[in-house]
Copies of this chain bind each other. A is one copy, B any other.
Amino acid sequence: MNDSVSTSAGSVSLLERIRTGEVLARDCPSREILNHVCSRWGVLVLVVLLDGMHRFSELRRKIGGVSEKMLSQALQSLEQDGFVERKALPVVPPHVEYRLTAMGEEVALQMDGLTSWIEDNLPRILAAREGKVAVG
């Protein structure tokens, strides 16, 4: 369905709203970016890369449970969005380095704030959950 916009005589066009980057608008490109950085593996990649350059297999080892395919996919999304820089050295065996761009470090700090908060408050959260679902 169409959502709000253009109510009064004021000519607030859809394009203008999109240009300002409204995550609540279904057609805004920011939704896609949000999904990339918030994706199951994307957020973890960002947090790990805050620690500096990593090679593919280092990332894979640090991020518990990620498959090669998913890691590769997450890295590609983040690289396309300009958050991660990929440098492949022309050697044998292959040597590829991943690191955050300046912009990537900014988002990564946001995600680190989130993951840190969750880790710090995990006991509180789990306690709240027990009180809700336990009844059975």
Chain A positions near chain B (C-beta within 8 angstroms): 3-4, 9, 14, 18-27, 29-30, 33-35, 37-40, 43-44, 47-48, 50-51, 61-65, 79-82, 101, 103, 106-107, 110-129, 131-133
Residues of B within 8 A of A19 (CB): 47, 112, 115-116, 119
- Flag if A129 contacts B80 (CB, 8 Å): yes
Q: CA of A119 to CA of B62 in the docked complex: distance in angstroms?
A: 30
Q: CA of A44 to CA of B118 in the docked complex: distance in angstroms?
A: 18
Q: CA of A115 to CA of B110 in the docked complex: distance in angstroms?
A: 9
Closest to A124 in B: B103
- Flag if B64 contacts A44 (CB, 8 Å): no
Q: CA of A19 to CA of B25 in the docked complex: distance in angstroms?
A: 34
Residues of B within 8 A of A25 (CB): 64
- Flag if B34 contacts A115 (CB, 8 Å): yes
A and B contact pairs by CB, cutoff 8 A, 24 listed: A4-B61, A9-B120, A14-B112, A18-B51, A20-B51, A21-B118, A21-B120, A24-B64, A25-B64, A27-B64, A30-B118, A30-B119, A33-B125, A34-B43, A35-B40, A37-B118, A81-B125, A82-B127, A82-B128, A82-B131, A103-B124, A103-B128, A106-B121, A113-B113
Residues of B within 8 A of A126 (CB): 29
- Flag if A24 contacts B40 (CB, 8 Å): no
